[in-house]
Amino acid sequence: MYPLDLTKITISEARTLLDRGEVSSVELAKEYIDRIRNLEKSIDAFVTVTEDQALLDAGQADKRIHDGTQSNLTGIPMQLKDNICYSGIPTTCSSKMLENFVPPFDATVSRTLKNENAILLGKGNLDEFAMGSSTENSALKSTKNPWNIDRVPGGSSGGPAAAVAASECMFSLGSDTGGSIRQPAALCGVVGMKPTYGLVSRFGLVAFASSLDQIGPLTKTVEDSALVLQSIAGHDSRDSTSLDVKIPDYVSNLGTDLRGFRIGVPKEYFIDGIDLEIKKSVLKAIDVLEGLGAEVKDVSLPHTKYALAVYYIIAPSEASANLSRYDGVKYGFSERDAETMWEGLENTRSKGFGPEVKRRIMLGAYALSAGYYDAFYLKAQKVRTLIRQEFEEVFETVDVLAMPTSPTTAFRIGDKMDDPLQMYLNDIFTIPANIAGIPSISVPAGLVGGLPVGLQFMAGALQEPNLFRAAYAFEQSTDWHKQTPPL
């Protein structure tokens, strides 16, 4: 007999129950639909709930399981961040600009999940066009942190992180441009993973900053994260930045013995300004890793201090180019009450975009302008190269780096909306991985004032097995991943 509360189990546990016939995909889907109905008014993690789609998917999954042709995610209830296209379901990017946009095609990851007969429960809320660290920049709703609904869930994948933390889905796919999977995962007490740039296809992901964006999973456990990545990783000819590499078996490498494993602790990630209790929690976590046999050593990444500045030149520059397509002509919101084409274009963009998106478009346009291109954008790209080279050098001496995910726990809703710089500083520990294109994961590592703390690991390009090995060993040696919000 299956557990009374199916929403509390992991993907791997659900896989066993489904394959044994102890529970059906339809029963599982209904449990999650009921949970969403009960919690959504207080959490607001979903932009769209797709009950009919979920039950249809579940029926197909049960047929496949009956035939013995199931795969890892067959019958598993999941959510997609609402900047990932799924044909026939609205993809709003939580923006007025796309509030009525229904894509006629699937993102590659959506197609993969359809092929596995995973169950789509709906689309997750985000900061508009994935620009933000709190999900308060959504034009549609403000998602709340399940641990304390007066607090933010982080961003921009706040809806996905909150949905997983509140057990409204078994996993969600988010996007990470400067920490948008890992930071909300840390603030909501779940596992958030950003793969190596190019490992997961970006086809069908609405672009923010194309050289930084990456799709990745938010899950309850490290093993679940490895299972989801196993399904979505791989080469895609429709994405020119997709890597054509052999995908290893991520799950088989999981274990708790870290003898001979080298962990670097970069001093630049324990700076003044970090919450002292978070620092204490992360240092305790590193002691746990050392107790499992890992060789822990101090390392230095001096160019890290420039990563935030580099990011806020490159990302807005790419955003200003990517968002130029929303002109009121091709698709999306269009302000027709105008005397000229140019007036219509101006009105469309001024009414269709929110304040944070406009701020980043203007920052990017300024950095790319004729008089400042060399001084800002070109220089930022040169520093980016130095940051990447620095990571490559340090990974010759260690297998992973360990550090905090966020300098603070979840802050109160509204606290930082009037101070963009303070909001941007929330991503100070996550941005370097995007700048360098390397994989990174955040796992639960404590509670401070009743709010979750995240421990972050980074590894060299395509070294996801090392990342999962360190994260799994820590997770299995502690109980932090078993803590759930007091809903």
Catalytic residues: 81, 156, 180
What distance in Å separates the CA atoms of residue 163 and residue 148, rounded to the nearest whole number?
14
DSSP state of 263: E
Order of strands, sheet of 440-448, starting from the edge strand that comes earlier in the sequence: 46-49, 119-124, 77-81, 171-175, 215-219, 191-194, 440-448, 451-459, 400-404, 262-266, 295-299
d(CA 419, CA 356) in angstroms, rounded, equals: 11
- Calpha distance 47→122 (Å, rounded): 8
**Other C-beta atoms lying within 10 Å of the C-beta of residue 310:** 21
The tokens for 94 are 């939580």
Integer Cα distance of 295 and 255 in angstroms = 16
Cβ neighbors of 91 (< 8 A, separation 6 or more) are: 82, 83, 84, 85, 98, 101, 102, 103, 123, 206
Tell me, what amino acid is at 332?
A: G
| Helix 307-322 vs helix 379-394: crossing angle, to nearest 10 | 120
**Strand ranges in 406-475 using DSSP code E only, listed in sequence order:** 440-448, 451-459
Chain mean position to CA 284: 25
User: Chain centroid to CA 445: how far?
Assistant: 18
Counting Cβ atoms within 10 Å, is residue 306 exposed (0-12), middle (13-18) or buried (19+)?
A: middle
61 contacts 119 by C-beta, under 8 angstroms:
yes
Task: Count CA within 13 A, CB hemisphere, residue 412.
Answer: 3
> How many residues make up the chain in this entry?
487
Asked if residue 146 lies in contact with residue 399, where contact means CB atoms within 8 angstroms, the answer is no
Whole-angstrom Cα distance, residue 469 to residue 473? 6
At residue 170, the 3 state secondary structure works out as: coil
Task: Write out the two tokens for 387.
Answer: 């940051």
Both tokens assigned to 194: 């950003």
C-alpha dist (Å) from residue 360 to 10, 367, 417? 38, 10, 15
Question: Among all chains, which residue has been given the structure tokens 């796919």?
Answer: 173
Q: Are 421 and 309 in contact (CB under 8 A)?
A: no
